Amino acid sequence: MGNIDKTSQEFWRNFKRGRPVEIVPPGPGQESVWDYPRPPAIQAVDQRIHVVFNREVIAESTNSLRVVETAGAPVYYIPPEDIKMGYLHPTHHSSFCEWKGTAKYWNVKVKDRETNNAAWGYPRPESGYEPIAGFLAFYAQKMDACYVGNELVTPQPGKFYGGWVTANLVGPIKGESGSESW
């Protein structure tokens, strides 16, 4: 169960969260983050994903997965064989998700430029999330560019969340001002 006991995990899984008053209904070709499930779901990605840092493509994949959860922008997980792992260096930082378990983090360094705790993954995720074991996600705000297909993504609002916002998403999206209780 990672680094947290079962009682704490159940508390966070059942923590009461509010909903914003003005949820935007999705139009044709759009996805509402409020239609995403809780607990989160893993979905295959049928588009090319790539990540750029210091003018170097450090990850490029057509085999990525995304995790979608109510109120958040999707988080894209890239298989390690599609990442130039020589640019990534493990850190001692970790975090905990009540669904996926304990995440480990990596710094990204390309040539003379480095950014800390810019990628994360779940080496041993909790039951139900095994497909993302060993895959890594990147904070878009710490990279020069992240793409879904040919679309440059926008980082999910706030400093904590690592979702990638694309033009087809409607919200509001967790991380925006006033979303602390969602």
Please report, in tens digits, the pLDDT of each residue of the chain (182 residues total).
Answer: 444 556 655 654 555 556 677 899 999 999 999 999 999 999 999 999 999 999 999 999 999 999 999 999 999 999 999 999 999 999 999 999 999 999 999 999 999 999 999 999 999 999 999 999 999 999 999 999 999 999 999 999 988 899 999 999 999 999 988 777 77
Confidence at residue 10, expressed as pLDDT on a 0 to 100 scale: 62
Provide the whole-model pTM.
Answer: 0.89
- Asked if residues 167 and 150 have their Cβ atoms less than 8 Å apart, the reply is no
pLDDT at 46: 96
First to last CA, the chain: 25
Characterize the bridge pairing of strands 31-32 and 169-170: parallel
pLDDT given for residue 144 in this prediction: 98
In eight-state DSSP terms, residue 72 is: S
Maximum distance among all Cα pairs of the chain, rounded to whole angstroms: 47
Q: What is the pLDDT of residue 178?
A: 79
CA atoms of 153 and 118, how far apart (whole Å): 16
In angstroms, rounded to a whole number, what is the distance separating the alpha carbons of residues 141 and 51?
11
The architecture CATH gives domain 6-170: Beta Complex (2.170)
Task: Report pLDDT for 20.
Answer: 73
